[in-house]
Chain A
Amino acid sequence: MPFVSAQTQADSYDVIVVGSGAGGGQSAYTLAMEGAKVLLLEAGRRYSPETETPMFQTPDMAPLAAVGTPDKPFGFYDATVDGGWEVPGEPYTRVGEGPESRFEWWRARMLGGRTNHWGRIALRNGPYDFKPHRRDGLGFDWPIDYVDLAPYYDKVELLIGVYGTNEGLENTPNSAPGCLLPPPAPLVSDRLLAQRAHRLGIPVIPGHRAVLTRALDYRRTPARLHPGNPKAQRILAADMRARSPCLWATPCGRGCSVRANYQSTTVHLPPALASGNLDIRTDAMVYEVTLAQNGRARGVSFVDRKSGAHGHAAARVVVLAASAFETARILLNSRSASFPNGLANSSGKVGRYIMDTVGSTLGGQIPLLESLPPMNEDAADGLQVYVPWWLYREQLAGRLGFARGYHVEYNGGRRMPDFSTMQGLEWLTGGSYGRRFKADARRYYGSFVSFDGRGEMIPNEHSFCEIDPSIKDRFGIPVLRFHWLWSEHELGQAAHMQRTFAGLIEAMDGRTKAPAQTDGVKAISPGGTMIHEVGGAIMGADSKHSVTNRWSQSWDVPNLYITDGAVFASNADKNPTLTIMALAWRACDHILERMRRREL
């Protein structure tokens, strides 16, 4: 009985996991596969990618050519349901409205959370990324090193399936042999970028994404991931065999009905359910961790988002993975006599040091790519290649004026035309219409490229969330109020991104519609809009300055763990999802070991 209700939920579990995305999915997987009895609570509805994913639907089948609307911000066919920049009845507030101080919060309320629609970009943090303070005196060091997490990066890559190559570049780690799947062939536009960037000394290498470019090795991998556990090996082998390799078609952001990319609902939850050790309760939004007399966590209280009924669940261990800031909200709302400022908050650091990724975008048009012959360039839906950060030496020497790096994501090719593909062409066509416009459209289709910088944000004292003193959601639960401020490091970095993009476009003999934006305030995207939500309960070496220890275990409450992005002590340019999963696996190994020793 894996999906449970108020009637069928057990009296007590070994572990409660709150949230079912990358962190919660990985936690439920690791714990259930290794024998713990787990209850997974998800605020949103049950969701089945196998039956609900609109794989080959085209824009003409959707309302308004499938464009984004307030109801479906990333487009009609985006996998996210019941989520977005606003969740009806569940507001948040913010203090800043300026370009440097505005914050926007994306939430998904569905089984699997935002893993259903994410970009599948799966980069490892490197050695510098865990010790940034040691390197340049800014931000915080993590209480772990790259070598502590490397084995878990290997495990996650083997489990979910990640394509890429080992290039041995600075702070861009190699994976262990056999971990990575082969990358997809580069498109024409990818090869042009690589050729021209090479002349500028800028590296272009194959991307890393959680997409199966070939079938997983179900014969060998299960024993590597679950040594000494034949049952887990058997379940995982069967599940890996059931995942199809990529069909080289359809956007990953819709989800994948054949399970060729990673989403929690297609990779973590099915084998965890097959173990018989996992119960899932959907529509259950946790708002408080309850305490036992001995000061340990007793369980969690939640509200059924459909019925409004309140419920409670009990367990030996509570794992929060509700999304970084929702986790902070739960802790801050869990007040008691022993924790008047919120649970696990004796340091006062819950809600502090919230981070996103620095984002900036520039598009260009490349005459060399005009009027190419028809060819199918759907490929693996993006990031065949990317630019890793390459100016470590110059940066450390202080020659750049900002302290941390970025990588460049790149898109081009003859992708499926959508509503915007042939819009706003006046700068190229001079405003043609009629037969000439149709000829222009054929000429320019496939000749557009775009560059998206993704850079490191340094945690600062001005970016934090707290409980709003007056606003409550429709269930009466106090909501978060956000404070945000980009520093000169992020603004300088965004301006540098723009100059890099303009240089690359020029090197490709292309042109931009508008000049590169070299004012950082105008170049940077608002806080939160990269949806790389981390920090708010950072891990650290001592209990005064951090919320959890090196095992993602709260300093104050030993049976309370955090396995989403909240524990990040820094936010490297690398997309956080792979690191969230590696940390979650590591934390759950710690939980399992302590439970075996009856310490939990």
Chain B
Amino acid sequence: MSTATDRRAPDDRVAPADPSTPPGGRSGRDALSEMNNPHRARMVKDVVARIVMWAAFALAMVPLVWILGTVIAKGFHMLTTATWWTGNQRNINSDDFGGGARHAIEGTLQMVGFTALIAVPIGILTAVYLVEYGRGRLAKAISFTVDILSGVPSIVAALFIYAVWVTTFGLGRSGFAASLALVLLMIPVVVRSTEEMLKLVPNELREAAYALGVPKWVTVVKVVLRTAFSGIVTGVLLGIARVMGETAPLLILAPYTKNFQRDLFNGNFPTLPMMINQDRGDFALATAAERMWGAALTLIILVLLLNLIGRVIAHYGSVKK
């Protein structure tokens, strides 16, 4: 404590201070010079850290801009042709230009719509169980399994459905089979987001309903679910957006066709990802490449549209705190 410039170093403070000398400003120490001199190294580190963080963000933006830029630039042209939105790929070969994507667009929408039809009720009811009814070991087991399910790779889900549907039951590949695999992938998304929304509903609302003599299931349906509704819808839309781009189940279970196909249950089924995959081997051909980019852009537009609608609903419909 005796030097004027550095109050940290002196070894005369090493020995355990006797109890009567409290720490703190003793005489002679002049902290003034220190007031303007925090260790330069610390300042440098602070500035470097700041630069690094900004740089990291910039780095993360590079692929985003690059990917979106490429897809838009290369796929845009296809989307401006009228046939893209009205026709299919019948009689179009790899080195033919263009063709339509309507079969794939409709196919994708149909498939994910069907998936949602199955996954959403199961997902919402499971979330309802976890939040409103579940206590104890069953609830813990369910929560654990939902976590496991969310970690299952799409290829494994596809293999499972293959093992059940095709190998065991002997039924053929179809859009429906792929849909089942997508259900497996969508359920955990719906469960988790619905759970979050239900937990956000204040308990006071439930208690008010019970106090009015309303049975529990009516409370859950008419009060809780209704309050959480927009949030749940958002979660569902985000889940749909996610499974829309899943290709692995399609590779295993829903072979592509160039024609219009409305039947989910029989035969090959057209989807946007599989349309892209179709031309994969010919990517060096300008015509094929352009088609792939066009399909990719269409897919991204659909996904982003769903995301956007979901966020808008979340914003305007949410429970205001």
A and B associate:
no
Query: Which A residues have a C-beta under 8 Å from some C-beta of B?
Result: none
Query: Which B residues have a C-beta under 8 Å from some C-beta of A?
Result: none
